[in-house]
Structure 1
């Protein structure tokens, strides 16, 4: 008997320099590892080739998306147990990439592979987006391609994951046992109150998605809305919803880059889960553009995921899995950087609310929706794409829970020269 699991366990423990915290089931049916622990299933030895040819997170991601790696047991518990040696290794520890390149490790892995498979580089899964280098990042053309990769995978798939609200950003939970729909409605209302929306005002919704914020603002607050997105599928879906709501006289949805909006001034701007796509090189330009589109006294609500500060903030870093499979060219910045750039563009930042625990609850809700309709999710997109979303959302939920990343709502004002911001004296009442 080959006993692939035992040999894989030995390789893994050499790799991480510690006892493996999960069980392993090999392609031959053998198992090894701590009893009762969740099981990492290696369905095909090709998973090991993915890791050897592309050491690190991307190799593991390719094996997962291809279906060569799976989990038998609770996915959250498995990721939580593995986080310490995949995502949270200390600066002085050996990285996964360095360990995989160790000659002794590679020799042992080749012996295992040689039992029945040639040592050839496996092709990446078709769901992977080919990277083009930093020179091509955040042009209007590249941003359209990146947005299409992420959002144009089928509105029916997103309906299944997001639920009827069709809101793809952090909800705002009044209580942990609230429904996802209630929490998303409360988030849209919170944004509306922070912006001080009143009948007759003009709102620009940057990155309007499937139209949920635009519909809420027009229906509940009587404002006129322009929503812009780079996704053709989102725009078509949003327009259909707006027509069904009888709001076509109040809402216009455009397939347009925010950099091409020229019909200001607006009374308010909402940017909810869009700024992560802007990029560090373009962020000050983004802030200047939105500032120019607001009338004096107008408010911006910038809702954005943030990472923790790095030791060397000049270094460029990217999450390989996220970049290749989820948000191409997406970048996260510390909230302090975001606030500083908004201020440099002329905004007066008046409030920052951190809501990272809310995003963990939101993501767990989306994962539950996905898992409850797993066969249908695979049919609507592809088995690989469904696996991408399940891993991405579950790992992200843990990242928010562990404070590896956060999410913040930053309220900023284009304060006029006389200093009259229009905000109330008491904070977080939002209306003058």
Structure 2
């Protein structure tokens, strides 16, 4: 097994979408944009590449997909290469900041469950949404998805979940989007079953790999990551949901 194996690539290879939502929900949001074939989209943190491929195959969009993790980028590459719409997807293994720095304004940005989507270390949703607006054409769209707090968590739960990202509430996301100048076109919270499927599938895939590879060089790191995520959601899962928001930058 390659040395690039990690918890996330094990988990996400088995998931349709690398977040607690299904592709039908993504389809419904993108359909709402009314974008025509040839419109330009950026999928930040493409993960297994499923959303980027869907944007190309189902909507005919010209997609740039960016993934920082080499192991995940390899999985995404396999999906892109197998797609009949592979010619519409430019997969870049890079940080989001590198891609955003040299890409022209876009019709659509997708950022769902992404760590450091702007690439400059911003953590607060309000600051991230504001920065991404600058990379959209007037009238362009942002499909934003992330964990949200559904209740005030205990301090240790907040600290564990917010080690790499800051989260807000459903209402707080609306406020942050409006403050950044967006219209909130649609907003939804994934059903609990979607969260259970996401966490359960990820854990099963990691545990299966660990059972089959007890002596692999990556075993200790994969087990530590799997245990950390399991504990996070066992103790803090009741405080979080996953929200998906279709935001529009006003036309000129």
- Coarse TM-score class (shorter-chain normalised): 0.7 to 0.9
Distance in 2 between residues matched to 1:338 and 1:204, nearest whole Å: 21
Candidates 319, 327, 330, aligned match of 2:165: 330
Query: Is 1:375 aligned to 2:211, yes or no?
Result: yes
Question: In structure 2, do the counterparts of structure 1 residues 384 and 277 end up closer, same or farther at CA, with 3 Å as the change threshold?
Answer: same
- 1:341 aligns to what? 176
State the secondary structure of the residue aligned to 1:217: helix
1:198 touches 1:221 (CA, 8 Å); kept in 2? yes
- Separation (CA, whole Å) in 2 of partners of 1:350 and 1:218: 22
Alignment pair present for 1:290 and 2:132: yes
Q: 1:282 to 1:161 in 2, by over 3 A?
A: closer
Matched, 1:318 2:168: no
Of 251, 270, 274, which residue of structure 1 is paired with 2:110?
270
Structure 1 segment 136-151 matched on structure 2, within 5 A:
none
- Aligned residue among 222, 237, 247 for 1:385: 222
Structure 2 Cα separation of the partners of residues 356 and 340 of structure 1 = 22
- Structure scoring higher RCO (CA < 8 A, sep ≥ 6) equals 2
Relative to total residues, which structure has the larger strand share, 1 or 2?
2
Question: How has the CA–CA distance of structure 1 residues 192 and 165 changed in structure 2, closer, same or farther, with 3 Å as cutoff?
Answer: farther
Change in CA separation of 1:377 and 1:399 when aligned onto 2, cut-off 3 Å: farther
Q: Deviations over 1:294-333 (max 9, x none)?
A: 222222111110124649x9xxx512xx57xxxx523222
Uncovered stretches (5+) of structure 1, i.e. residues with no partner: 1-151, 173-184, 418-432
Once residues 286 and 153 of structure 1 are traced to their aligned partners in structure 2, the CA distance between those partners, rounded to angstroms, is 33
Question: What's the CA shift for 1:291?
Answer: 1.3
The higher radius of gyration belongs to: 1
Residue segments in structure 2 that go unaligned for 5+ positions in a row = none
| SS of 2:134 mapped into structure 1 | helix
Q: Any idea what SS the aligned residue of 1:218 has?
A: helix
Going from structure 1 to structure 2, the CA distance change for 1:171 and 1:263 (only over 3 Å counts) comes to same
* Structure 1 match to 2:43: 205
| Secondary structure, aligned partner of 1:216 | helix
From the superposition, tell whether residues 387 and 220 of structure 1 become closer, same or farther in structure 2 (CA, over 3 Å): same
Aligned CA distance change for structure 1 residues 270 and 370 (closer, same or farther; 3 Å): same
Helix, strand or coil for the counterpart of 2:204? helix
* Conserved 8 A contact 1:366-1:393: no
State the 1:218 CA deviation.
Answer: 0.6
**Equivalent residues of 2:148, 2:168 under 8 A apart:** yes
Change (3 A) 1:384 1:209: closer
Q: Within the alignment, does 1:192 sit opposite 2:34 as a pair?
A: no
- Kindly indicate whether residue 69 of structure 2 is the aligned counterpart of residue 231 of structure 1: yes
CA contact (8 A) 1:343 1:349 kept: yes
1:249 alignment partner, SS class: helix
Note the 1:102-141 alignment, pairs <5 A: none
Aligned residue pair count:
243
**Residues 19-418 of structure 1: pairs in structure 2 closer than 5 A:** 154-155=4-5, 158=8, 160-165=10-15, 167-172=17-22, 185-254=23-92, 255-258=94-97, 261=100, 262-274=102-114, 283-308=125-150, 310=152, 318-319=159-160, 328-357=163-192, 358-376=194-212, 378=214, 379=216, 381-393=218-230, 395-396=232-233, 399-400=236-237, 402=238, 404-417=239-252
Offset of 1:153 from its aligned partner?
Answer: 7.6
